[in-house]
């Protein structure tokens, strides 16, 4: 068998698979490595006997996605157990119900990586790839993970709408926007935006960033985030996608300089 054609090697799916391999092999943050393995060795009773993933968790979804969701990090007994973002915990229950209702997910639940869930026009990822103690990654840990997110976002050529799930995801995406389009961002962000649920921010090149509270138990159990509030953000994201006219692929010169 010969080498694969260039279009296969450089397809979004192939490039995302390359990022995934590098994410899973990462061991840059000793504190997070120790914590994710500690969680796997001492699971709560409901997960006793489960085989934990206990490695960094890559993003997943449709390589042609126009919608990208960015969370904080995998949960110690959710993504750290199942190996897929927002899979196997209550935050994921909320998220995939919402995505299913609005037409981005094939089913309203996600239990494990082999449960048949398919995302359509949607990609799910996070600012940090290992579960952090108390859900609080250190600045150095966020810095180590940041390049993975950048590569995912740059690979998703059809990206039009971003949803930041929580303040830390918002701050991470704000950094990316400033670095990706420094001149345009300077004009758009004359006044530093603040995070609030339901807020939106126009981005360069016709893109939009929406903000939502994270569907963590801290927010959903207290009523700070309701399903109606959550659905409203996804409905607006869907509407924003439908309003975006189809764009022609950039010429070769534009791809080199964009």
On the question of pLDDT at 177 being above 90, the answer is: yes
On the question of pLDDT at 256 being above 70, the answer is: no
pLDDT in tens, 120-156: 999 999 999 999 999 999 999 999 999 999 999 999 9
**pTM passes above 0.85:** yes
Domain 8-245: top CATH class: alpha beta
The percent of the chain in helix, strand and coil, each rounded to the nearest 5, is 45, 10, 45
What is the maximum span of the chain, computed from C-alpha positions, in angstroms? 58
On the question of pLDDT at 182 being above 80, the answer is: yes
Could you tell me which residues come within 8 angstroms of residue 152 by beta carbon, excluding any fewer than 6 positions away? 16, 19, 59, 68, 123, 125
**Which two structure tokens, joined as six digits, stand for 165?**
């799930």
Q: CA geometry: angle at 14 spanning 11 and 15, to 5°?
A: 85
Q: Is 252 helix (H, G, I), strand (E, B) or coil?
A: helix
CA–CA distance, 255 with 258 (Å, rounded to integer): 5
Q: Where are the domains of the chain?
A: 8-245
Average pLDDT for the chain: 91
Q: For the ranges 112-116, 144-148, 190-194, 223-227, which has the lowest average pLDDT?
A: 190-194
């Amino acid at each position: 068998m010969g080498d694969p054609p260039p279009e296969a090697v450089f397809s979004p799916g192939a490039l995302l698979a390359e990022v995934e391999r590098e994410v899973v092999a990462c061991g840059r943050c000793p504190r997070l490595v120790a914590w994710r393995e500690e969680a796997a060795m001492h699971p709560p009773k409901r997960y006793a006997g489960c085989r934990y993933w206990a490695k960094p968790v890559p993003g997943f979804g449709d390589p042609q996605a126009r919608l990208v969701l960015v969370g904080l990090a995998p949960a110690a007994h959710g993504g750290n157990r199942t190996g897929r973002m927002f899979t196997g915990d209550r935050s994921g229950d909320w998220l995939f119900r919402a995505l299913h209702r609005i037409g981005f997910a094939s089913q309203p639940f996600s239990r494990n990586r082999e449960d048949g869930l398919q995302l359509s026009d949607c990609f799910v990822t996070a600012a940090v790839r290992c579960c952090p103690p108390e859900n609080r990654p250190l600045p150095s840990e966020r810095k180590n993970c940041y390049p993975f997110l950048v590569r995912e976002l740059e690979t998703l050529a059809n990206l039009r709408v971003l949803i930041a799930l929580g303040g830390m995801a918002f701050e991470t995406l704000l950094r990316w926007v400033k670095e990706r389009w420094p001149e345009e961002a300077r004009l758009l962000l004359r006044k530093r935006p603040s995070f609030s649920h339901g807020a939106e921010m126009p981005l360069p090149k016709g893109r939009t960033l929406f903000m939502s509270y994270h569907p963590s138990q801290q927010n959903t159990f207290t009523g700070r985030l309701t399903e109606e509030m959550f659905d409203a953000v996804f409905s607006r994201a869907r509407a924003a996608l439908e309003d975006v006219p189809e764009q022609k692929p950039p010429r070769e010169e534009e791809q080199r300089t964009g």
